[in-house]
Amino acid sequence: MTDGTGFASDSLSNVRLGSHLGVLPDDLLSRLPSWPEPSTMPLILDSDIGSEPDDALALAVAAGLPSLSLVIASNEHDGQRARFARHLLDLMGRTDVPVVSGIDLGNRSAWAAEGIVPEYVSAQPTDVAGAVLQVLHRYDSQIGWVGLGPLSNLAALLTTDHDACAQLCVTQQEAALRVDLEGPGQNIALDLPAARTVLSAGLLPWVVPTELTLNVLNQITEGTTEYKVIAHSDDPAHILLRTHINQWFDEEVPSFSLNGLSTLALAVGMPFVTALPADIALNEAGRIQSGDNAAYMATSIDYSNFRKWLVDRLERITSVSHHHPAADYDPHTRRGE
């Protein structure tokens, strides 16, 4: 049974795996604590889904929240990221959530979603500003903006309608792997002018730094509980996620960090990530340093409880089934009876 948000109403708690780095031991899994419900603040997810698989997992978890209102593909890949997001949302019954294809920076590295989206999934609209403004006009309250990729889309929106952006509560992952000017940039480091535009806009963003997310306690491998939850399932959404993750493991590296999930947890008010006010800037490699832009910086993650919460959310994912009318046909029912 589902609760209408692509999640099962009863969470499974019978995964039994051995104790290992990143794997939850039996006794912990049998004593999963209760957590506060995620915030109901409407959410806009800006994601470069299709590269490192944490973004796809973040979308799957966000799809289980009624508050998810819009998904934007960042660092687009010829429209393929938006199509991937559309397909995953449709599997989980979230056809109500629009998807728009955002700015394409021409970056084609670390693509791990080749051939996993059916051809019948059409290209998605490209009017990012129009889609965001529709969400902003729908609510009088703050809107959560969860940034899991470069800040190109938000920077362009600030140029289009700076005043409307004051309604946004921005939570952004750093995950800028480049440590020198010669190394490859990722996420906010892919578009430094955009990142600096956002930081200087006075939005007081909440930032989850690389030092917290690229931690061995925040990694997924084939041996971790989260992967095994997905690997042992025959649910279509889990199968899509598993295919994506396996492609990443085969073609990139046999692990990935939970950058996007950590950021989403903070954005929906879960108590696993703490933050403090800070004045920050970006250096030429796209890494955060001290500066003049007011923000909130995440300072710690309770990895143990965060990972237990994530297992619980992943276990709830359930695709929506559509039954052919023949399945309910009653030959004894006649017109007018």
Sorted by where each starts, the structural domains of the chain and their CATH numbers stand as 26-320 (3.90.245.10)
Q: If you average pLDDT over residues 144-163, what whole number do you get?
A: 95
More confident residue, 10 or 93: 93
Report how far residue 200's alpha carbon sits from residue 294's, in angstroms, rounded to the nearest whole number.
8
Amino acid at 118: P
Q: For residue 131, give both structure tokens.
A: 């889609």
- 304-336: per-residue pLDDT in tens? 999 999 999 999 999 998 778 887 788 776 655
In this predicted structure, the answer to whether residue 199 has a pLDDT above a threshold of 60 is: yes
Q: How many CB atoms are closer than 10 A to CB 117?
A: 20
pLDDT-above-90 percentage for the chain: 73
Residue pair 328/276 in contact (Cβ under 8 Å)? The answer is no
- 30-64: per-residue pLDDT in tens? 555 678 899 999 999 999 999 999 999 999 999 99
Q: Residues 60, 206, 257, 57: what is their CA dihedral angle, to the nearest 10 degrees?
A: 0
- 233-273: per-residue pLDDT in tens? 999 999 999 999 999 999 999 999 999 999 999 999 999 99
pLDDT-above-70 percentage for the chain: 85
Give the contacts of 172 (CB within 8 A, at least 6 positions apart): 146, 147, 151, 188, 198, 205, 206, 207, 208, 263
Query: What's the pLDDT band for 2 if we cut at 50, 70, 90?
Result: very low
In this predicted structure, the answer to whether residue 140 has a pLDDT above a threshold of 60 is: yes
Report how far residue 25's alpha carbon sits from residue 184's, in angstroms, rounded to the nearest whole number.
37
Q: Give Cα separations from 334 to 267, 324, 326, 331 (angstroms).
A: 53, 19, 15, 8
